[in-house]
């Protein structure tokens, strides 16, 4: 199974393609896609959609694994991330991807076994779970996207066992 893992945002979007074969999980692609602050918001949404469409077309994932929103005190930011997330879900459904959504707590629990793990604990465990070339160059959003994809694969594997 091939998973498109996404850490949604409108300024930065973490994107990862992780594939599960019989033996292990393999990272096929990852990036932190950035939009320019100087661009109009609708242009930023368009560029996010265009990039998601490109990645889906190139890597042909079976499913989308996307982090649900964690709302903080900045409602304007949360609203804009919601809009970017909508574009990502739309592009994925357009390509008939099945969609799995996970909370940050579920992702941390799946990756580290502890739902309150910090960023470093999650990143260290992700590096142990999958081979990442140039691990020092990965941004947090990119690592979160990889963790989201790994969570989906772990959940899928558990569903098959049950």
- The CATH number of residue 115's host domain is 3.30.420.10
Kindly tell me if the per-residue pLDDT of 116 is higher than 70. Answer: yes
Q: How far is Cα 44 from Cα 62, in angstroms, rounded to an integer?
A: 26
Show the domain range for 38.
2-161
Q: Is 7 a catalytic residue?
A: yes
For position 71, what pLDDT does the model report?
Answer: 65
Q: Is the pLDDT of residue 114 over 90?
A: yes
Q: Is the pLDDT of residue 160 over 90?
A: no
Going by C-alpha positions, the residue among 113, 119, 115 that lies closest to residue 105 is 115
Separation between Cα atoms, residue 106 and residue 59, nearest integer Å: 26
The mean pLDDT of the chain is 93
Strand 25-34 with 12-20, pairing: antiparallel
For the entire predicted model, the pTM comes to 0.93
Q: Which among 19, 51, 67, 91 is annotated as catalytic? A: 67
Tell which wins on pLDDT, 83 or 23.
83
Section 73-88 average pLDDT: 91
Catalytic pick among 91, 141, 142, 144: 141
Q: What is the pLDDT of residue 161?
A: 43
Say if residue 136's pLDDT is above 80.
no
**pLDDT, average across residues 109-132:** 95
**Residue 82 clears pLDDT 60, i.e. is over it:** yes
| Residue-wise burial string across 79-98, b where 16 or more C-beta atoms lie within 10 A, e elsewhere | ebbebbbebbbebbeeeebe
Q: Is 67 a catalytic residue?
A: yes
Region of poorest pLDDT, from 18-27, 89-98, 153-162: 153-162
Total of domains in the chain: 1
């Amino acid at each position: 199974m091939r998973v498109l893992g996404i850490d949604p945002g409108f300024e930065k979007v973490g994107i990862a393609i992780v594939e599960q074969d019989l033996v292990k999980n393999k990272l096929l692609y990852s990036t932190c896609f950035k939009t320019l602050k100087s661009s109009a918001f609708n242009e930023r949404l368009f560029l996010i959609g265009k990039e998601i469409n490109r990645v889906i077309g190139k890597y042909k994932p079976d499913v989308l694994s996307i982090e649900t929103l964690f709302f903080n005190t900045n409602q304007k930011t949360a609203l804009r991330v919601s809009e970017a997330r909508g574009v990502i879900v739309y592009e994925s459904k357009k390509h008939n991807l099945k969609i799995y959504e996970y909370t940050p707590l579920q992702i941390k629990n799946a990756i580290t076994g502890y739902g309150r793990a910090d960023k470093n604990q999650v990143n260290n465990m992700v590096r142990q779970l999958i081979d990442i070339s140039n691990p020092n160059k990965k941004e947090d959003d990119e690592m979160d996207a990889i963790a989201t994809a790994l969570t989906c694969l772990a959940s899928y594997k558990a569903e098959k066992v049950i």
